[in-house]
Chain A
Amino acid sequence: MLDMGEAFGVAVALVLSGDGDLMEIVALSLRVSLTATIAACAIGLPVGALVATSRFRGRGAVLVVMNALMGLPPVVVGLIVYLHLSRAGPLGFLGLLYTPAAMIIAQTILIAPITAALSRQVIEDMHAEYADHFRSLCLSTRQTVQALLWDARYALLTVALAGFGRAVAEVGAVMIVGGNIDHLTRVMTTAIALETSKGDLPLALGLGIVLMILALGVNALVHSLRLTAVRQAYA
């Protein structure tokens, strides 16, 4: 077994050389998590906007549940999706278990509550400011929601990035429904877990480095979005 310093050196070389296996794993990770993020936004943003703009009985309970769901443990989500997709499960006939599609479904379920709860907060604040103007214009709920989603676009991009960050870094859900099959469902986090247990530290570290760079990139993007929004007074 290599020592830490050596392993790190090999890992950096691996990343810089654009190693085929490594790149394949990174690409699948990005494909799965980006798709899940888009799906989670498609579900979460309208839900968040609707809850933000409407008043109904039991709204407080809905908010509590939405916020609680943000903390869903990935392994539990993985388990639930597994039970549905396994051959004996209600959706078993789809044959999706151990495919990237199953991983996308699991991650979507994992982060949809995040996009819904965070966008609810963002949009509710904005709606408090716009409500009188919109009511004066006699806008329909649909028009109101559309306008709020558009005006909150910078903040909502940040919400989407928060969801992506969580998806790309989780290991429990994709491990259970994807199975970490080489060349098929192996993503960065599951590969790191496996290679570490196998003792192949360079690959694990190399993937770890890529993951860190990704996290850094996401945060840099969030930061620059915020700056842009402030500069244009759209924050």
Chain B
Amino acid sequence: MREAIIHGPEALIEGATPASNLLPLRVEGLTLDLGGRRVLDGLNMELGPTGCTVILGPNGAGKSQLLRALHGLLQPAAGVVDWNGVTPAQAMSRQALVFQKPVLLRRSVAANIDFVLRSRGLPRARRDDLLDHVGLAHKARQPARLLSGGEAQRLALARALATDPDVLFLDEPTASLDPASVNRIEHIIRRATLRGARVILVTHDIGQARRMADDIVFLHGGRVTEHAPATRFFPHPETLAARAHVTGGLVL
């Protein structure tokens, strides 16, 4: 039995063990065309069994579409996405994706969680813990669509955690959060990683990348131009684009 994400701190003590056999992930020649434009262009990447991978890259680099393709929501024009022998479509039910713009149902905050739990046949009792976890317990009865931007993102994260996914895709999950909430969300993500979930995180917050990443994937022009452990990437970014991105310089 795996530890549920919502378990207490004692779950933190044990080291990260892979929760599933969906990893390693192998991506070869991934090419994606959207609206007549080539968004990903022969992208290659390999992700190991555990930890948190942070994907960096400028606006429009293709980060969000890459997550969609890895999750199986987009059909690539060419290339292979291989979750340790299974296709994205087969792996999808054991993964969760928090979208850059969260889509919340036209229901109460609590009902948004209930919907996910019910769709997976999970006990509704988990809901209150999940809401508490992201600091939304006091808003449970409120219409979800009246939440602030940051609250909506926290609800989307709680909803993703509800299914106890083996792989968690997070597309800028803290983009509109206040500093305290960022702390809280990072803590939750870290706990999920320790529980064994494989986290793939897109962010523009370099500080967050430093805090969270085990390895960094740098995306530029539809390809991975650099993939390195965080300990090596930050002191010595190899490519000019990555160096500029990290230091806030401009690369066109």
A residues apposed to B, CB below 8 Å: 129-130, 132-133, 135-139, 143, 147, 150-151, 232-235
Contacts and interface: CB of A to CB of B under 8 A. Distances in A.
A143 B146 CA distance: 25
Given A133-B99, A136-B96, A143 B119 contact: yes
6 contacts: A129-B103, A130-B103, A132-B68, A135-B92, A136-B71, A136-B97
Nearest to A126: B106
Given A135-B73, A136-B92, A233 B146 contact: yes
B73 A233 contact: no
Contact of B143 (A132, A136, A233): A233
A132 B145 contact: no
Contacts of B71: 136
B146 A147 contact: no
A233 B106 contact: yes
Given A130-B103, A132-B73, A132-B103, A138 B145 contact: no
A235 B73 CA distance: 26
Nearest to A235: B106
B234 interface: no
Interface centre among B68, B95, B115, B146 (most CB of A within 10 A): B115
A138 B97 CA distance: 12
Contacts of A129: 103
Q: Closest 10 CB pairs between A and B? A: A233-B145, A234-B106, A138-B93, A133-B103, A151-B106, A233-B143, A233-B146, A232-B143, A136-B97, A137-B119
Contact of B115 (A138, A147, A232): A147
B119 A151 contact: no
Interface of B: 68, 71, 73, 92-93, 95-97, 99, 103, 105-107, 115-116, 119-120, 143-146, 163
B interface SS class: mixed
A133 B100 CA distance: 12
Given A136-B92, A138-B92, A232-B143, A151 B107 contact: yes
A232 B145 CA distance: 8
B27 to A, nearest CB: 19
A206 B101 CA distance: 55
A147 B106 CA distance: 10
B143 A234 contact: yes
A51 B153 CA distance: 32
B145 A136 contact: no
Given A233-B145, A235-B106, 8 more contacts: A132-B99, A132-B103, A133-B99, A136-B95, A136-B97, A137-B163, A151-B105, A151-B106
**Listed residue (B105, B143, B145, B163) with the most chain A CB atoms within 10 angstroms of its CB:** B105
A147 B93 contact: no
A118 to B, nearest CB: 18
A139 B143 contact: no
B126 to A, nearest CB: 16
Contact of A137 (B68, B107, B116, B144): B116
Contacts of A233: 106, 143-146
B241 to A, nearest CB: 29
B145 A139 contact: no
A151 B108 CA distance: 11
Contacts of B144: 233
A117 B106 CA distance: 22
Contacts of B119: 137, 139, 143
A150 B115 CA distance: 12
A170 B68 CA distance: 50
Listed residue (A130, A132, A136) with the most chain B CB atoms within 10 angstroms of its CB: A136
B67 to A, nearest CB: 11
A7 to B, nearest CB: 49
A147 B73 contact: no
A135 B96 CA distance: 11
Given A151-B105, A151-B107, A136 B115 contact: no
Contacts of A234: 106-107, 143, 145
Contacts of B92: 135-136, 138
B112 to A, nearest CB: 10
Nearest to A232: B143
Most chain-B Cβ atoms within 10 A of its Cβ — which of A130, A233, A235? A233
Contacts of B96: 136
A147 B224 CA distance: 38
